[in-house]
Structure 1
Amino acid sequence: MSHPLRVIFAGTPDFAAASLSALLGSQHHIVAVYTQPDRPAGRGRRLTPSPVKKLALQHDLPVHQPESLKTADAQSQITALHADVMVVAAYGLILPSAVLSIPRHGCLNVHASLLPRWRGAAPIQRAIEAGDTISGVTIMQMSAGLDTGDMLLKRQTPITDTTTGGDLHDRLATLGGNAIVDALDALIEPGLEATSQQEEEATYATKLSKAEGELDFTLPARRLSARIRAFNPWPVAWTQLGEERLRIWFATPGEQRSPDTSGPPGTLLTSPTDSLCVSCGADGSDTLHIMRAQLPGGKPLAIRDLRNAFGDRFIPGMRLGNHQEGSE
């Protein structure tokens, strides 16, 4: 490569900080960091800098936190940096078309899916929830559409039956950091080949909500366990246990049984001490084995420990949930 690139980095959460960290260890020169304004956090609601800002300040990088990049002042500031490229990873602000064309090589996005699958806000969780067996990162040339730009480089990783949202997030964060460094190294020489996305293959990863965490035990066990893993560590799957909310952190699908020996969906069945066996599926003939859960005011615990402390709350025959039929 003839010379290091002048890079503007734009990102906010931990996922983005991994890419910034990788760039800091590369030959490229970061001329500025853009991140979301400090937000209230914690019980005291104190203004807290983003993970990207914290890392940038540790390395004495100039940090900019505009509320928008649509203003003439913000765009003039970016122009004055004379950057070769802008790297964007989970920034949280829309980049207007005027900004996309300012750097010499435009803006590259570190996206946490194998595009065109899972465009949008929550690609990591939606991939696990849908039962995908593979995920990855795509380095994309940003365009005016939502994750519709040409693909420049991909790196992939498997999704197994034990992969959680947190596991995949951390793995993709590291993979994304390595991939963006590789992409920038190749940008000048030998160059990167751009591949258009096939629109007919695109899927959309809608934003997560806390309400989605409520489990519908009329669904098959495999779908429920995938959702539980996807929503770990946020928003965390849950169900009603009497008057309390039981948060469920990990579960595995069990073997199907005859409907004649099953309770209605959500019924606690007799099970080993290391799991809570729950009937599920439309007729209650499927089983879900909850392995880790959390009661209000407590910590997530293995079911064996939860039973030892609160065994009287998990009686075979009682039902979890609100007992309403699901529509999925």
Structure 2
Amino acid sequence: MAAPLQIVFAGTPEFAAVVLRRLVETEYSIKAVYTQPDRPSGRGRQLTPSPVKAIATAHQLPVYQPSSLKDKTSQAQLAALAPDLMVVVAYGLLLPTAVLQIPPLGCINIHASLLPRWRGAAPIQRALMAGDQETGVSIMQMEAGLDTGPVLHTVRYPLQPDDTAATVHDRLAELGAEALLQCLPAIAEGTATPTLQDENQACYAPKIHKEEAWLDWSQPATFLERQVRAFNPWPVAQTQIKDQILRVWSATALATETAASPGTLLAANKTGIDVATGKGVLRLLKVQPAGKRAMAVQAYLNAHPLTPGSVLAKNPGKPPRP
């Protein structure tokens, strides 16, 4: 009977923690876990371990937290672990070529898109904003380029009309864990069949920035609805009304035609806050005033009655485009 695969796992956020939870339940040997250094978090700004570190510590796995893998010392430390394979999931640090060459079976990555679509830092949000009908996860053999390596396995997920970045994140994390476990036997046996990515189909998913959260009312309602879903739970879409920031957690696009200028408040009642857009109407369903918790529109209107005809502030940031 062959010895179990010797794995080094590298990841940081909850997406990666979901995969690690599943991996520790298998027969594979996890030699060590790499994760980002502890970061200040919460109101007290206390140093907080990453979700991956919390799982590793709970299972008494060795944890390494270098600030970089570019230096010879960190590389020698990794090589001394003698892993057969390195599994990387949203680690957040660049893996130099020297690191990619340490495990005999290389390094594989679980990426939250159907590569080559949406390479980069924010594939879930960009897929939702673009109105993609489906997304998924790809198991990729890592190479020097950004998410450019050959794909070993994919699992597809049809996006639902009410999906948010939060719900897609959770579903793809589970699918990623399942996909990894499906792939590992073939990788260990050397029978995995990599498929080269089609560079003509590649597109990039840049990191989300806070200024993108501002709703630009000149955009179509369908796009603004996608933006709201893509930015839930972070950075959360927002607008400005009566000189106050109003965050928008949930909204739906209406096909209603209107001659009102974009940003005009058309109606405000228990069914929602209707706002004119560049095309159609966006109905706000769940909002969050400054300093308060998110709430249904009815609760918000009880304390903040609105008059139709007023205009919500135009976007002061740099809006994303459909």
What's the TM-score, normalizing by structure 1? 0.94
Please state whether the residue corresponding to 1:240 is helix, strand or coil.
strand
Give distance in 1, aligned partners of 2:277 and 2:77: 57
Give distance in 2, aligned partners of 1:167 and 1:154: 19
| Contact map agreement 2:269 2:301 (CA 8 A) in 1 | no
> In the alignment, is residue 167 of structure 1 matched against residue 161 of structure 2?
no
1:213-251 deviation digits (Å, cap 9, x = unpaired): 001000000000000100000010000112100000111
| Contact map agreement 1:10 1:87 (CA 8 A) in 2 | yes
| Contact map agreement 2:31 2:83 (CA 8 A) in 1 | yes
* Segment drifting more, 110-119 vs 301-310: 301-310
In structure 2, relative to structure 1, the CA distance for the partners of 1:130 and 1:327 (3 Å cut) is closer
| Contact map agreement 1:219 1:326 (CA 8 A) in 2 | no
Give the 5 Å matches for 1:231-242: 231-242=231-242
Paired residues, number: 320
Unaligned runs of 5+ in 1: none
Q: 1:307 — aligned with what?
A: 301
> In the alignment, is residue 320 of structure 1 matched against residue 317 of structure 2?
no
Please state whether the residue corresponding to 1:21 is helix, strand or coil.
helix
Give the 5 Å matches for 1:137-216: 137-189=137-189, 191-216=191-216
Q: 1:15 — aligned with what?
A: 15
| Contact map agreement 1:218 1:326 (CA 8 A) in 2 | no
Please state whether the residue corresponding to 1:270 is helix, strand or coil.
strand
Q: 1:289 — aligned with what?
A: 283
- One-letter code aligned to 1:298: K
Give distance in 2, aligned partners of 1:133 and 1:192: 28
Give distance in 1, aligned partners of 2:174 and 2:315: 42
Give distance in 2, aligned partners of 1:251 and 1:53: 36
| Contact map agreement 2:126 2:205 (CA 8 A) in 1 | yes
In structure 2, relative to structure 1, the CA distance for the partners of 1:326 and 1:10 (3 Å cut) is closer
Q: 1:123 — aligned with what?
A: 123
Unaligned runs of 5+ in 2: none
What's the TM-score, normalizing by structure 2? 0.96
Q: 1:52 — aligned with what?
A: 52
Q: 2:263 — aligned with what?
A: 266
Q: 1:298 — aligned with what?
A: 292
Give distance in 2, aligned partners of 1:71 and 1:188: 29
Q: 1:244 — aligned with what?
A: 244
Please state whether the residue corresponding to 1:57 is helix, strand or coil.
helix
Identity of aligned residues (%): 49
| Contact map agreement 1:274 1:302 (CA 8 A) in 2 | no
1:151 Cα deviation after fit: 0.1
Moved runs in structure 1, 4+ residues, more than 3 A?
A: 323-328
Q: CA RMSD in A?
A: 1.6
Give the 5 Å matches for 1:24-43: 24-43=24-43
